[in-house]
């Protein structure tokens, strides 16, 4: 199975400051169709997960433009330009290229 | 408005079975592959299973392969997860999701004697 490794696992951030989460996969996530199926999810406390980014860098509808995704192959990053209070929660990367799909361990973002 | 409503959870003894249902509305259910994802208490997300939009393909996590079966009825806009030989480490909130575009509220399954 593809192992997804996130870092850091805990991320204290001051309001208004940027934040960055890294996600590395144990195999390339480039599918035979040329797409890279790497998603980012946010899970606020007590809520269901919500997808923020699909196929590395595409923002879902309603996701603020302060969120951005980048990367290729096995190395990916989620960036938040200026962290707001509502961004507190756990962030997960997930690969959808290989079966079984697999999630990273999660990164807990807390507001300082 | 998109809605996903999971049902069928509860407390079950180890070794017993349970069937979860997830009813979708507000979107064209038959166009979407449907996933089940679970989250053990205080832990991260674990992908469980997927079924293609037309039921033609299914994949499972190694941890549930041979014990869980995913199925769907597009006439009822519902996906199912039949869970057999349940173990304590199957205790989790189970979420259904169409291609991860939307998520249900989750349903708790507790495996305990």
> What pLDDT is recorded for position B50?
98
* Integer Cα distance of A17 and B102 in angstroms: 29
Residues 64-103 of A with CB under 8 A from B: 90, 92, 94, 96, 99-103
Residues of chain B with pLDDT under 50: none
Instruction: Find, in chain A, the residue whose alpha carbon is nearest to that of B4.
Output: A48
Contacts with A99 from chain B: Cβ below 8 Å:
50, 59
> What pLDDT is recorded for position B106?
97
> What pLDDT is recorded for position A58?
98
* Shortest CA gap A100–chain B (Å): 6
DSSP string, B38-58: EE-TTS-EEEEEEE-TTS--E
Instruction: Find, in chain B, the residue whose alpha carbon is nearest to that of A38.
Output: B100
Chain B interface disruption, residue of A1, A44, A49, A106, most B CBs within 10 A: A49
Report how far Cα A47 is from the mean position of its chain's Cα atoms.
Answer: 17
> What pLDDT is recorded for position A20?
98
Report how far Cα A2 is from the mean position of its chain's Cα atoms.
Answer: 16
* Shortest CA gap A71–chain B (Å): 20
> What pLDDT is recorded for position B90?
98
Residues of chain A with pLDDT under 70: none
On whether any CB of chain B is under 8 Å from the CB of A39, the answer is yes
pLDDT in tens, B7-38: 999 999 999 999 999 999 999 999 999 999 99
Question: Using an 8 Å Cβ cutoff, are A105 and A93 in contact?
Answer: no
Give the closest residue to A100 by CA, choosing from A3, A20, A19: A3
């Amino acid at each position: 199975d593809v192992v997804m490794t996130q870092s850091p696992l805990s991320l204290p951030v001051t309001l208004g400051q940027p934040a960055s989460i890294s996600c590395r996969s144990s195999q390339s996530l480039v599918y035979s169709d040329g797409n890279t199926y790497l998603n980012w999810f946010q899970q606020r406390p007590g809520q269901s997960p919500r997808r923020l980014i699909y196929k590395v860098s595409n923002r879902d509808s309603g996701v603020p433009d302060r969120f951005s995704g980048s990367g290729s192959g096995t190395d990916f990053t989620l960036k938040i330009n200026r962290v707001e209070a509502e961004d507190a929660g756990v962030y997960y990367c997930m690969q959808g290229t290989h079966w079984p799909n697999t999630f990273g361990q999660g990164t807990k973002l807390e507001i300082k | 408005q998109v809605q996903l409503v999971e049902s069928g959870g509860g407390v079950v003894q180890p070794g017993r079975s349970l069937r979860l249902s997830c009813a979708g509305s507000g979107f064209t259910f038959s166009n979407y592959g449907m996933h089940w994802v679970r989250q053990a208490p205080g832990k991260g997300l674990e992908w469980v299973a997927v079924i293609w939009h037309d039921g033609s393909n299914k994949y499972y996590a190694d941890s549930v392969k041979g014990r869980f079966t995913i199925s769907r009825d597009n006439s009822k806009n519902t996906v199912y997860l039949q869970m057999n030989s349940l173990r304590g480490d199957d205790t989790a909130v189970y979420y259904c999701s169409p291609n991860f575009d939307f998520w249900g509220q989750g349903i708790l399954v507790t495996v305990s004697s």
